[in-house]
């Protein structure tokens, strides 16, 4: 399916062949099987809230999930050849898969100094289109309990019937996510994902790194939606998720690639190739900045005491999950920064139980967020430097923060940032259908 290229030499031990061995459905559980040379991997996903997973349309999307989910295991040894076996894949699906391999594993490639443009893809079988019987006025919203998904949930048109989609690990549900979901009062479609335990073996010698997990979650949400007759999936990926963290060897490296506009279109096209155009996948926030999202989040007072955007609350192992905002990571710092122009300081402090942007030990991290640091934008789900800079300029001019001299000092070094008000306007294009608005 792709020309054979000369492989880039790497000090890392790579496998020769990664093979898609197939998947099966047993009751409400889908199990995928892969191998990297002679090492086998298995992953199971249980659709707790059921639906007609036997339908040809639902299975067509599960096949697409199976393709992308394999990258979680491919990365362990970065095989030089990927054999898709008998998995049905069309032109759009292959284009999406290759982009997920190259760009979805872009951060992984950079951190390991391991370009993947040389990987040969072979195998696969023809894809045929299934018919999906769906209701366009019923929408599924994947929900992560953070600022973006809360704003999508509260802004979708009341004309559509909305249901949340939540994916949990085998180790148990995430408490802050569940608490925030409860505030919505909406019904929930649930899946539980069981990763192969080999991934957690610290003595495995595997190559580690970030994978396009949002694409995997989106595809599971689509499969669950179709199995239950829903006509679309409303993602919560805003405009700046398309902005790369850096450029390496001429390749844009984007931690949030699977949240980007490019990935959204590729995924939607791959689904349409399999089930037609009646089913819609689009991000409600695609043409909005994180500044606008923060403005809208600040109005949702019922959610402010319970929502959480700190990734340390969402560790796979339950014992490693933080019980509150950590107040130290780039995500905490960024969310604190963009909410500060819209929420009084005392109230913001009570939400976070700390003040990340007032913490002098985080000065270098803050400078990096606004584009002044020596490093690239953090490999985290944070806004682009212009958004952070606009927020910092706004906060530095607020009398409530006048005692924080480091904010004023950073503000004096900023120039050319987008104006705060311009970031409250529409940003670029959106594929959201009119009846969602």
Task: Yes or no: say if 334 and 388 are a contact pair by the CB < 8 Å rule.
Answer: yes
Question: What per-residue confidence (pLDDT) applies to 311?
Answer: 81
Calpha distance 290→296 (Å, rounded): 10
Q: What is the pTM of this model?
A: 0.94
Instruction: Indicate the helix (H) or strand (E) that contains 234.
Output: strand 230-235
φ, ψ (nearest 5 deg) of residue 379: -75, 75
Q: Across the strands, what pairs with 182?
A: none
- Supply angle C-alpha 193, 234, 131, rounded to 5: 80
Pairing between β-strand 81-83 and β-strand 120-122 as defined by DSSP bridges? parallel
User: Measuring CA to CA, how many Å separate 288 from each of 230, 343, 395, 430?
Assistant: 25, 19, 20, 9
Question: What per-residue confidence (pLDDT) applies to 110?
Answer: 97
The set of residues, in sequence order, having a beta carbon less than 8 Å from that of 18 and lying 6+ positions away, is: 34, 35, 36, 70, 73, 74, 77, 79, 81, 82, 83
User: What 8-state DSSP symbol labels residue 241?
Assistant: G
Task: Yes or no: say if 436 and 160 are a contact pair by the CB < 8 Å rule.
Answer: yes
Q: How many CB atoms lie within 10 A of CB 352?
A: 18
Q: What is the pLDDT along the chain (437 residues), one digit of tens a residue?
A: 433 333 344 456 899 999 999 999 999 999 999 999 999 999 999 999 989 999 999 999 999 999 999 999 999 999 999 999 999 999 999 999 999 999 999 999 999 999 999 999 999 999 999 989 999 999 999 999 999 999 999 999 999 999 999 999 998 888 889 999 999 999 999 999 999 999 999 889 999 999 999 999 999 999 999 999 999 999 999 999 999 999 999 999 999 999 999 999 999 999 999 999 999 999 999 999 999 999 999 999 999 999 998 887 677 777 777 778 999 999 999 999 999 999 999 999 999 999 999 999 999 999 999 999 878 999 999 999 999 999 999 999 999 999 999 999 999 999 766 689 999 999 999 999 999 99
Which of helix, strand or coil describes residue 86?
coil
Helices and strands, counts by H and E, the chain? 14, 12
Pairing between β-strand 246-248 and β-strand 251-253 as defined by DSSP bridges? antiparallel
Domains, the chain, with CATH or none = 17-122 (no CATH), 135-289 (3.40.50.620), 291-423 (no CATH)
Question: What per-residue confidence (pLDDT) applies to 373?
Answer: 80
Question: What per-residue confidence (pLDDT) applies to 93?
Answer: 98
């Amino acid at each position: 399916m792709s020309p054979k290229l000369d492989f880039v030499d790497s000090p890392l031990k790579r496998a020769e062949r990664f093979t898609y061995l197939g998947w099966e459905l047993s009751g409400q559980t889908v199990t995928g099987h892969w191998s990297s040379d002679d090492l086998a991997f298995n992953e199971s996903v249980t659709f707790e809230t059921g639906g007609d997973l036997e339908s040809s349309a639902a299975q067509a999307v599960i096949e697409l999930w199976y393709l992308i989910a394999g990258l979680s295991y491919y990365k362990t040894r970065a095989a030089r050849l990927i054999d898709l076996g008998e998995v049905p894949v069309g032109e759009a699906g292959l284009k999406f898969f290759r982009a997920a391999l190259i760009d979805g594993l872009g951060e992984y490639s950079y951190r390991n100094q391991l370009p993947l443009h040389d990987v040969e893809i072979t195998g696969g079988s023809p894809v045929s289109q299934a018919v999906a019987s769906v209701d366009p006025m019923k929408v599924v919203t994947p929900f992560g309990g953070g600022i973006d998904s809360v704003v999508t949930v509260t802004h979708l048109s009341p004309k559509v019937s909305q249901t949340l989609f939540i994916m949990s690990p085998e180790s148990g549900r995430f408490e802050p996510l569940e608490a925030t979901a409860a505030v919505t009062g909406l019904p929930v479609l649930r899946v539980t994902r069981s990763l192969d335990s080999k991934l957690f073996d610290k003595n495995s010698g595997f190559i580690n790194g970030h994978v396009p997990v949002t694409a995997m979650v989106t595809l599971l949400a689509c499969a669950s939606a179709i199995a239950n007759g829903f006509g679309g999936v409303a993602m919560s990926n805003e405009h700046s998720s398309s902005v790369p963290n850096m450029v390496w060897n001429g390749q844009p490296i984007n931690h949030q690639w699977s949240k980007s506009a490019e990935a959204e279109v590729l995924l939607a096209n791959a689904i349409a190739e399999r089930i037609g155009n009646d089913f819609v996948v689009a991000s409600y926030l695609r043409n909005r900045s994180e500044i606008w999202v923060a403005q809208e989040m600040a109005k949702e007072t019922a959610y402010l005491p319970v929502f959480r955007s700190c990734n340390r609350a969402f560790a796979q192992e339950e014992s490693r999950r933080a019980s509150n905002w950590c107040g130290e990571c780039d995500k905490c710092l960024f969310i604190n920064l963009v909410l500060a122009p819209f929420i009084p300081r005392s109230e913001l402090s009570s939400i976070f139980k700390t003040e990340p942007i007032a913490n002098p030990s985080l000065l270098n991290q803050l400078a990096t967020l606004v584009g002044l640091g020596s490093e690239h934008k953090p490999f985290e789900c944070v806004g682009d430097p212009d958004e952070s800079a606009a927020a910092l300029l706004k906060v530095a001019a607020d009398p409530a923060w006048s005692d924080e001299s480091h904010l004023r000092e950073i503000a004096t070094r900023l120039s050319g940032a987008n104006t705060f008000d311009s970031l409250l306007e529409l940003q670029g294009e959106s594929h959201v259908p009119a009846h969602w608005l």
